[in-house]
Amino acid sequence: MSDTRPSLTTRLLPELALFPNEQQRQLALSAARKDVFKKPGRLLTALAWLIGVSVVVGVAAALLQRLFGMRAAWLAGVIAGPAGSVGSIVVGNLIFRVPIQRHLREQLNALNVHVCLHCGYQLKGNTSGRCPECGRDIESA
C-alpha cells in the first residue's frame, strides 16, 4: 500500500477500484481483455479504421497538393495528425474500452458489488430498479 496513486489503467477503467482485492482485480482485467481481444471483429474494425484514415488523409493530401501546391498538403498534414489522433482515441474507446468496462461491471455484479452495467454507478442499497445516475433500468447480471 505504498503507492496509492491511480495508474492509467485504473483511471481509464474506474471499475477496477471496486474489486475487493488486487488478485480479483487482476483476474477480472485479464478475463475482460481476453474476452474483448479474442473477438476478431474488433481487431479487424480497428485495422479497417487505421487503413481507412490513412487512405483518406493520403488522398486528401495528394488532392490538396495538386490543387493548391505543397503548402496546402503540409497544412493538411498538420490538421490530419491531431484529427487522426482524436479519432483514434474515440474509436479505440468504442471498440475496446467500452466492452472491457461492460465486462468488468458484469464481473463486479457477479461478486455482489452491484454497479450499473450502463454507466458503472454503484448501486449499493438501491431498490428502485432504476439507476439514479443514468436513469436506465438495472439489468440483472
Please tell me whether residue 102 binds Zn ion under the rule CB under 5 A. Answer: no
Q: Is 101 helix (H, G, I), strand (E, B) or coil?
A: helix
d(CA 128, CA 77): 52
In angstroms, give the least distance from the CB of 113 to Zn ion: 14
- Alpha carbons within 13 A on the beta-carbon side of 96: 19
133 binds Zn ion (CB under 5 A): yes
Query: Segment contacting Zn ion (CB under 5 A): 12-20, 24-32, 73-81, 109-117?
Result: 109-117
- 138 is a contact residue toward Zn ion (CB under 5 A): no
Q: Which of 62, 71, 134, 137 contacts Zn ion by CB under 5 A?
A: 134
Q: Which three cell numbers stand for residue 16?
A: 477496477
Cβ closest to Zn ion, residue 17 vs residue 86: 17
111 binds Zn ion (CB under 5 A): no
d(CA 60, CA 58) in angstroms, rounded, equals 5
CB-based burial label for 31 (10 Å; 0-12, 13-18, 19+) = middle
The closest alpha carbon to 9, from 1, 20, 22, belongs to 22
Contacting Zn ion (CB under 5 A), which of 77, 83, 119, 139?
119
Write down the least CB distance from residue 89 to Zn ion, Å. Answer: 23
Size of the site for Zn ion (CB under 5 A): 7
Write out the residues near Zn ion by the rule CB under 5 A.
116, 118-119, 121, 131, 133-134
